[in-house]
Amino acid sequence: MSDLNGYYFEDLSVGQTAVFAKTVTEADIVLFSGVSGDTNPVHLNEEYASKTMFKGRIAHGMLSAGFISAVFGTKMPGPGCIYMSQNLRFKAPVKIGDTVVAKVEILELFPEKKRASFKTTCSVGTTVVIDGDATLMIPSRG
């Protein structure tokens, strides 16, 4: 793996994993709202959010899902990979101050198309907050 090219398809094997962790801050939520346009008050307004089932503000689900993309784009497979699909199941909320750990695991390799399928999860402590799967195109040496 190099800084500009991640793992090549030929370097991957079923069962390989990689992780990325980030503690969610107030700034992350505000900036994500600005970039995405999602200004739902459950993310931005404590008074509103305190009256919801969450009893306070929560981070955007797609902010946490973006940490999965960070694993793919920077760790494994790394630079050069291309997202083809991602399924997500949101299981629990993420709050300001929570540390989200995104993990990907290779489930299957498709040599003829240089693609791989992955199990994707985000957790806060022992709680899975996002569960899913993804398919990526991986650069080949050839």
Q: What is the pLDDT of residue 118?
A: 98
pLDDT in tens, 4-17: 668 999 999 999 99
> What type of residue sits at position 135?
T
Q: What is the pLDDT of residue 37?
A: 97
How far is it, in rounded angstroms, from Cα 77 to Cα 4?
12
101: Cα separation from own chain's centroid? 9
Identify the H or E element spanning 78. none
Give the SS3 label for residue 140.
Answer: coil
**φ, ψ of residue 18 in degrees (nearest 5):** -150, 155
Distances in Å between the Cα of 95 and the Cα atoms of 69, 92, 141 are 20, 10, 42
Q: What is the pLDDT of residue 4?
A: 65
Q: What is the pLDDT of residue 2?
A: 52
pLDDT in tens, 17-72: 999 999 999 999 999 999 999 999 999 999 999 999 999 999 999 999 999 999 99
Q: What would the mean pLDDT of 76-94 be, rounded to a whole number?
A: 96
Write down all domains in the chain, each with its CATH number in brackets. Answer: 9-137 (3.10.129.10)
**Strands 115-124 and 127-137: what pairing?**
antiparallel
Say whether the peptide bond before residue 111 is cis (omega within 30 degrees of 0). Answer: no
